[in-house]
């Protein structure tokens, strides 16, 4: 908020920003305070919606206020009509080429997806779960049965808060901490690809640039270029160092092929749908 009431009373937002900038050191952050407490029921619904809309308005994607990535490290137990402004804001942001990451929650077991991460089922957000330092998913993750789910470090993460009277950080855990780490990895990829494509594949730049800024495009790139080969399954622990295992030229060619395949699959689906409609009409 522009007024003086911008102090982080809880510290969660500060930790999220700290993690983002530890990985993506050259990223520009846009931060909006939406609550004065840790309780999700105290959040300002309208402020969340306005912040999303303001930062993802259609226009020049390189303008000062436009963002490439939204990270939503909060969860409501379920969708309710009172959340409709946020839902519409997320749809607008997605339509304007903003990649949206959402924390999956820490409820464990089969409790079901909270909101807004449940929008993953509709293709609106990339859901992020937590993993430990060696890659396996954390025990407090939800058990998900829907497609491929992404996890990254969220267990025992050093925060920017120090233990009282020491120089040692307090370690925190949760999918809300894994989410900014995943967003930072995506920011690194966007920065590298934007630079490399303009040199290596200028003729494909516009199409591939747009494809990468979709939920499916970025999810595919994360799962196929930022994971260890043996883990490319339904559960994909991602880490930035896997992305840098290949030379820039090889990695950009892989990304180009992945995004081109997505485009071809979408064309095939539209063609099949068109044929199906014709058959139904006939």
Tens of pLDDT, residues 253-266: 889 889 888 865 55
- Distance of alpha carbon 2 from alpha carbon 10, whole angstroms: 19
Cα 254 from Cα 274, distance rounded (Å): 30
* Confidence grade of residue 237 (pLDDT, cut at 50, 70, 90): confident
Percent of the chain at pLDDT exceeding 70: 82
User: Which of the four pLDDT bands, split at 50, 70 and 90, describes residue 40?
Assistant: confident
Residue 50 has which token pair?
Answer: 């306005």
Residue 12 pLDDT: 87
- Rounded CA-CA distance 244/265 in Å is 27
pLDDT on residue 70: 97
**Cα–Cα distance, 171 to 84 (Å, whole number):** 35
What confidence score (pLDDT) does residue 18 get? 95
Report whether pLDDT(180) > 90: yes
- The predicted structure's pLDDT at residue 126: 95
- Collect all residues with Cβ–Cβ distance below 8 Å to 144 and sequence separation of at least 6: 104, 113, 127, 129
pLDDT band at 188, cuts 50/70/90?
A: very high
Q: What is the pLDDT of residues 90-126, one digit of tens each?
A: 999 999 999 999 998 876 555 567 899 999 988 999 9
Q: Between 136 and 277, where is the model more confident?
A: 136
* pLDDT above 80: residue 44: yes
pLDDT digits (tens, 9 = 90+) for 67-80: 999 999 998 988 99
pLDDT value for 4: 59
Domains and CATH numbers, the chain: 12-278 (3.40.50.200)
Say whether pLDDT at 128 is over 80. yes
> Looking at residues 210-236, what average pLDDT do you find?
83
**Are 76 and 115 contacting, i.e. CB atoms less than 8 angstroms apart?**
yes
pTM of the model: 0.87
Report the pLDDT averaged over residues 204-227.
88
What is the overall mean pLDDT for the chain?
A: 83
d(CA 120, CA 123): 5
Q: What pLDDT score does 62 carry? A: 57
Distances from the Cα of 101 to the Cα of 75, 96, 107, 123, 181, angstroms = 12, 15, 18, 11, 10
Closest CA to 178 of 56, 39, 15, 27: 15
- pLDDT for the residue 271: 44
Q: Nearest CA to 152 among 15, 5, 20?
A: 20
Q: Strand order in 235-237's β-sheet?
A: 69-72, 99-103, 126-131, 149-153, 235-237
**Mean pLDDT value of segment 182-211:** 84
User: What are the CA-CA distances from residue 272 to residues 217, 220, 276, 282 (Å)?
Assistant: 21, 22, 6, 15
């Amino acid at each position: 908020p522009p007024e003086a009431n911008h102090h982080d009373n809880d510290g969660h937002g500060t930790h999220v920003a700290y993690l983002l900038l530890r990985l993506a050191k050259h990223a520009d952050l846009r931060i909006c305070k939406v609550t004065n407490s840790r309780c999700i029921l105290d959040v300002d619904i309208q402020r969340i919606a306005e912040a999303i809309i303001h930062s993802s308005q259609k226009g020049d994607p390189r303008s000062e206020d436009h963002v490439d990535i939204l990270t939503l490290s909060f969860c409501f137990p379920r969708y309710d009509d009172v959340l409709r402004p946020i839902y519409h804001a997320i749809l607008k942001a997605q339509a304007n080429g903003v990649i949206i990451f959402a924390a999956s929650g820490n409820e464990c077991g089969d409790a079901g997806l909270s909101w807004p991460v449940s929008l993953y089922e509709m293709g609106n957000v990339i859901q992020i779960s937590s993993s430990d330092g060696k890659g396996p998913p954390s025990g407090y993750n939800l058990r998900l049965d829907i497609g491929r789910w992404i996890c990254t470090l969220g267990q025992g993460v050093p925060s920017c808060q120090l233990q009282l009277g020491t120089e040692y950080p307090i370690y925190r855990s949760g999918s809300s901490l894994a989410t900014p780490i995943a967003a930072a990895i995506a920011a690194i990829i966007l920065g590298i690809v934007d630079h490399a494509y303009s040199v290596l594949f200028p003729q494909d730049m516009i199409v591939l640039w747009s494809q990468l800024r979709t939920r499916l495009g970025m999810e595919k790139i994360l799962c196929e270029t930022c994971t260890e080969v043996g883990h490319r399954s339904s559960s994909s622990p991602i880490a930035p160092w896997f992305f840098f295992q290949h030379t820039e030229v090889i990695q950009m060619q892989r990304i180009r092929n992945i995004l081109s395949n997505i485009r071809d699959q979408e064309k095939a689906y539209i063609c099949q749908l068109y044929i199906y409609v014709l058959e139904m009409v006939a």
